[in-house]
Amino acid sequence: MKIALFATCIVDAMFPRTAKATVTILERLGHQVLFPATQACCGQMHINSGYFDDALPVVANHVAAFSQGDYDVAVAPSASCVASVKHQQPMIARHCGDADLENRANAVGAKTYELSQLLVDVLGITDAAAQLGSYFPHTVTYHPSCHGMRLLRLGDRQLDLLRSVGGIELRDLSGPDQCCGFGGTFAMKNADVSSAMLEDKVKSIEASGAELCVGGDASCLLHIGGGLSRKDSGTATLHFAEILASTMEAPVSVSGEVELLTGRGRS
């Protein structure tokens, strides 16, 4: 299968290892990964902030980038960006009166999957250890993103994949359905509320006793990672794609993540 990678802005700029892990997983399964070179932002930040007219050229660029090339499906390691592609982009085209763009946006959205959706629903991956060779001997707790739960209705896809990783120990997170407080520009426009929500999430993560907080959205992990670093708890964040890509022969560097986010290594 030919799979187009939608890297997303935050992953591309701040978490490139997540994009590389996504490619590693898909190539390990024997698929060809393509990268549409003209891709940029999906427009989610503009749309969530109410700047619909400003979002139109951003949406048009994404639709054009993923309307070209010979590929079967597109994938992104981000539930929020995939939700924007599937739900928000056609809405923006409709709002601006561009029926052709709306039709093309719907076509692109229908072929675009969040990583766990693609792995479970399309590629039939249910046992990461057996089918991907995934091995990660660490304690983790899992934070489901709001867009993944509510817009994409991912259910337990990400969590079930994590459960099937060799050597992993999953710790329960209290209040898993509570927002971390990021919400894109919400964290800047409503900083006090966002910080209070983040504080609750950090306390839940610390109470789990896990080494790492794992999720499927780099934006949430960036926000949570900042809160954890300020507490100097020694706990860091990691995208679930990196855990799936980790093997006994090529393990992901956990100490590097902890040092990056907390300013110190882990013995």
**Shared domain check, 90 and 20:** yes
| Best CA proximity match to 236, nearest among 258, 217, 220, 251 | 258
Res 234: pLDDT: 84
| Best CA proximity match to 25, nearest among 111, 116, 110, 113 | 116
**Final residue of a structural domain among 62, 92, 121:** 121
Mean pLDDT per block of 10 residues along the chain (267 residues) reads 96 95 98 97 93 97 95 97 96 97 98 98 98 98 91 93 98 92 85 93 95 95 93 90 97 64 39
CA distances from 187 to 49, 223, 226 (A): 12, 9, 12
**Shared domain check, 165 and 111:** no
Which domain does 214 fall in, by range? 126-262
**Shared domain check, 106 and 183:** no
Res 216: pLDDT: 96
**Final residue of a structural domain among 72, 90, 121:** 121
Domain-located, residue 267 = no
| Best CA proximity match to 58, nearest among 89, 96, 35, 34 | 89
Distance separating alpha carbons of residues 172 and 147, to the nearest angstrom: 20
**Final residue of a structural domain among 121, 151, 168:** 121
